[in-house]
Amino acid sequence: MLQFAAYIVRHIAFSEKRNLSALIIRVAVVAVALSIAVMVVTTATVNGFQQEISRKIFGFWGHIHLSAYDLNYSYEDLSPISAQQDFYASLKALPEVAHIQRYARKAGIIKTDNDIEGIMLKGIGPDFDWRGFSRFLQQGDSLHLADSTKSNGIIISETTAKRLHLGMDSSLIVYFVQEKPRARKFTVTGIYHTGLEEYDEQYAIVDIRHIQKLNGWTDQQIGGFEVVLHDMNRLDDMTQYINDNMSNTEIKVQSMKEINPNIFEWLALQNTNEQLIVGLMLFVALINMATALIILILERTNMIGILKALGANNEAIRTIFLCNAALIVGTGILIGNAIGLGLCWLQYQFGFITLDEESYYIHTAPVEIDWQLLWWLNMGTLLMSIVVLLIPSFLVTRIQPIKAIRFK
């Protein structure tokens, strides 16, 4: 038994010695491929997470709010502004602006036969763009806002519907605490779900004319404007531009980042995690490649000695090893991209990785590829690998032909 074990050990050792170069290359390719795959999945997941949360916020509220200055700030619109503004036409004509819509908010209390709960009504008008909000609708349809009469429909959240045991076509009464307490009866025409607890627990959508009448406003008085942009990456620039060019000093310009700073600061923290993981994976890939190149040079000492004896200079021999190293890195990058993009595609199609929606606002881990970032990630890895590998390649200059040829 011992003799058989010794034979196996000798056989493995002989095989490894004979195939050492091939083994080193395989290990290096696998290390680079896994590092690239992790980087691709990480960047796609973080980007998808940020984009999906941002779309939910902007889809519900737009990108930029224009409203009246209110020293006693509250979520309810206490001070109206005129719907007829001089800046409206010029603002709507900007190529970065996709849409402008009116809104107003008012707090109330929902009462059913058995339950009672506070609610914030968001009033919208016929100019409301349903394309951003329709992705949240779970049941029912958008409000039908006719020009002649107010709509008595209400769109409530799935959270509110479950708490108050309401369904489609259910009736409810909303009471408003004001100087003259009032009540309005609504019929549920839609149920939405954003996954953002702050919105789902508080807001319902109604015809803006209800809020105007309850507040004693005219048809031309509203709570404010929501500005929807084509590209949310221009949010900060456009907010600053509108603010600088706003002629009406009574209008306050705020981006959703300013209104909901906590969520966006939390999203910004994801960039730190992304950079940490990418940096760690890049470090692992570079260390593996440097180690592999050192072993390859030592394993090919005899060959280096023969080449030098035949007249090859150090630069030429270093170039040979660096070209082979670049080929190894390139192969690993291609395989890593295939693995990473394949995993992203599977997650996009089947959503097998799920999240706690109460904590992350999303039920399924989203993925979104930033192709430009992916290109720079690959090119950066390749170039940094070659630069780092220049250091171990100087081992070639330390090898003397006579000693190298004798080296075994």
**What gap in Å lies between CA 329 and CA 293, rounded to an integer?**
11
Of 122 and 250, the one with more pLDDT: 122
In this structure, the answer to whether residues 24 and 94 fall within a common structural domain is: no
Long-range contacts of 160-166 (CB under 8 A, 24+ apart): 160/110, 160/117, 160/119, 160/200, 160/201, 160/204, 161/188, 161/191, 163/115, 163/117, 164/110, 164/112, 164/115, 164/117, 165/112, 165/114, 165/115, 166/112
Closest to 330 in 3D by CA, of 24, 32, 26, 18: 32
Which residues are CB-contacts of 67 (< 8 A; sequence separation ≥ 6)?
A: 77, 81, 223, 224, 225, 251, 252, 254
Give the chain's end-to-end CA distance (angstroms, integer): 32
| DSSP conformational letter for 95 | T
Residue-by-residue DSSP string for 273-324: HHHHHHHHHHHHHHHHHHHHHHHHHHHTHHHHHHHHHTT--HHHHHHHHHHH
What is the domain range of residue 130? 70-249
The reply to whether 12 falls in a domain is no
In this structure, the answer to whether residues 239 and 330 fall within a common structural domain is: no
In this structure, the answer to whether residues 94 and 154 fall within a common structural domain is: yes
61-99 confidence digits (pLDDT tens): 889 999 887 654 456 667 888 888 888 888 888 999 999
pLDDT over 90 (residue 227)? yes
**What gap in Å lies between CA 63 and CA 257, rounded to an integer?**
9
pLDDT category at 399 given cuts 50, 70, 90 is low
Residue 225, pLDDT score = 93
Residues 142-153 have a mean pLDDT of 84
In this structure, the answer to whether residues 354 and 240 fall within a common structural domain is: no
In this structure, the answer to whether residues 193 and 317 fall within a common structural domain is: no
178-197 confidence digits (pLDDT tens): 878 889 999 999 999 998 88
- H helix intervals, 135-196: 158-164
pLDDT over 50 (residue 17)? no
**What gap in Å lies between CA 404 and CA 408, rounded to an integer?**
8
Of 224, 249, 274, the domain-final residue: 249
Residues 319-326 have a mean pLDDT of 80
In this structure, the answer to whether residues 88 and 231 fall within a common structural domain is: yes
28-38 confidence digits (pLDDT tens): 888 888 889 99
Residues 116-124 have a mean pLDDT of 91
In this structure, the answer to whether residues 298 and 183 fall within a common structural domain is: no
Phi, psi torsion values for 195, nearest 5 degrees: 90, -10
278-302 confidence digits (pLDDT tens): 888 888 888 888 877 777 776 666 6
Of 249, 274, 305, the domain-final residue: 249
In this structure, the answer to whether residues 140 and 268 fall within a common structural domain is: no
Residue 23, pLDDT score = 77
- As for how many domains the chain has, the answer is 2
In this structure, the answer to whether residues 170 and 83 fall within a common structural domain is: yes
In this structure, the answer to whether residues 203 and 288 fall within a common structural domain is: no
Long-range contacts of 1-9 (CB under 8 A, 24+ apart): none
The reply to whether 50 falls in a domain is yes
The reply to whether 139 falls in a domain is yes
Which residues are CB-contacts of 111 (< 8 A; sequence separation ≥ 6)?
A: 172, 173, 174, 175
The reply to whether 187 falls in a domain is yes
In this structure, the answer to whether residues 368 and 301 fall within a common structural domain is: yes
The reply to whether 7 falls in a domain is no
In this structure, the answer to whether residues 338 and 397 fall within a common structural domain is: yes
The reply to whether 61 falls in a domain is no
Of 249, 282, 301, the domain-final residue: 249
Write down the residue that tokens 């006579």 correspond to. 402
